[in-house]
Amino acid sequence: MPVKDYIRERFFPHIWCSGCGHGTVLNVLIRVIERLGLNKSDIVIVSGIGCSSRIAGYLDFHTMHTLHGRALAFATGIKLNRPELNVIVPMGDGDALAIGGNHFIHAARRNIDITAIVMNNRIYGMTGGQYSPLSGYGIFASTAPYSSVDQSFDVAELAAAAGATFVARSTTYHVNEAAQMIQKAILHKGFSVVEIMSQCPTYFGRKNRQGDAVDMLKYMRDTTTPIGSGAKGQNPELIERGVFVNKELPEYCSAYDEVIRHAMEGR
């Protein structure tokens, strides 16, 4: 199917700035869904609030644009009652890990079969460039005019520690790799997290003198490396890309079906 069959043209033009990485994620997601041959009516997209979360409305699936940080909780209610649907939750970094941090770790802990895509631009885009829990020490933001003294999370480590059974990372520069990660995540049965490092040239780029979108993409190319590469040995600062966790544990909806079976047998 052509890309335009997956989007709601009525919803366009989109709200994103030119050069924003979120559009790349939209594109990658559509290509993965096409490649997997998924039926449009079997997909639910649940998003929170932020520039990234606007992705939901653009897609011609069952879409829900919810509250800042709460998308995974809404998605849990949907998935548990319609386990046969593919539930995908695109999230901003602030959305996923500041206000939504609690829902994030608990969705991971339950291992409910939802795919969370964290579109990490290390800033609050929608509200105008405040620092996020992913900005990190020494980053400039509208609320860190003297540079941030907040340490950051590593999304992948956090997700793995919380119990996610599939965890991967890629960037908007590495689109083919990003597509592979998202594809594996959608096929994985259990809670999967894919962090896609993304660029916000409008705020992060400008405030941190990283140049325009192309410069930021090159920066992601140069500061990341595949897991286990020799480059990491020489330069420990490099951020690793690839699949960090891929394991099987009882999935929440299937486990609850067992509860129902026991209860019905009167045990």
Interface residues toward ligand TPP, by CB under 6 A: 49-52, 68, 92-95, 121, 123-127, 132, 200
Instruction: Quote the least distance from Cβ 200 to ligand TPP, whole Å.
Output: 6
Tokens matching residue 149: 């003294």
Q: Does 190 bind ligand SF4 (CB under 6 A)?
A: no
Check binding of 184 to other proteins (CB under 8 A). no
Number of residues in contact with ligand SF4 under rule CB under 6 A: 12
d(CA 75, CA 61): 14
Among 1, 3, 35, 41, binds other proteins (CB under 8 A): 41
89-118 positions binding other proteins, by CB under 8 A? 102-103, 106
Residue 137 CB neighbours (<10 A) = 11
Question: Which of these ranges, 138-146, 169-177, 194-202, 253-261, lies near ligand SF4 under the rule CB under 6 A?
Answer: 194-202
CB of 161 closer than 8 Å to CB of 109 = no
Does 161 engage in binding with other proteins (CB under 8 A)? no
7 binds, among ligand SF4, ligand TPP, other proteins, none (CB under 5 to 8 A by kind): none
Instruction: Decide: is 14 part of the binding site for other proteins (CB under 8 A).
Output: no
- The β-bridge relationship of strands 43-47 and 86-92 is parallel
The residue length of the chain stands at: 267
94 binds ligand SF4 (CB under 6 A): no
Contacts of 89 (CB under 8 A, 6+ apart): 45, 46, 47, 71, 72, 75, 114, 115, 116, 117
Distance of CA 180 to the CA centre of its chain: 14
Residue linked to tokens 């340490």? 151
Closest CA to 76 of 261, 251, 249: 251
| Size, binding site for other proteins by CB under 8 A | 41
Residue span binding other proteins (CB under 8 A) among the ranges 71-79, 167-175, 183-191, 203-211: 71-79
By the 8 A CB rule, do 167 and 244 touch?
A: yes
Place of tokens 């979120």: 22
* Minimal distance, residue 50 CB to ligand TPP, in Å: 3
The tokens for 59 are 């897609």
Torsional sign, CA 37, 114, 197, 24: positive
Residue 38 sits in the site that holds other proteins (CB under 8 A): no
Is 79 a residue that touches ligand SF4 (CB under 6 A)? no
Angle (CA) 45-47-50 rounded to 5° is 145
> How far does the chain reach from its first CA to its final CA, in angstroms?
49
| Under rule CB under 6 A, residue 124 binds ligand SF4 | no
Is residue 13 near other proteins by the rule CB under 8 A?
Answer: no
56 or 164: CB nearest other proteins: 56
Q: Residues interacting with ligand SF4, by CB under 6 A?
A: 16-17, 20, 22, 51, 121, 125-126, 200-203
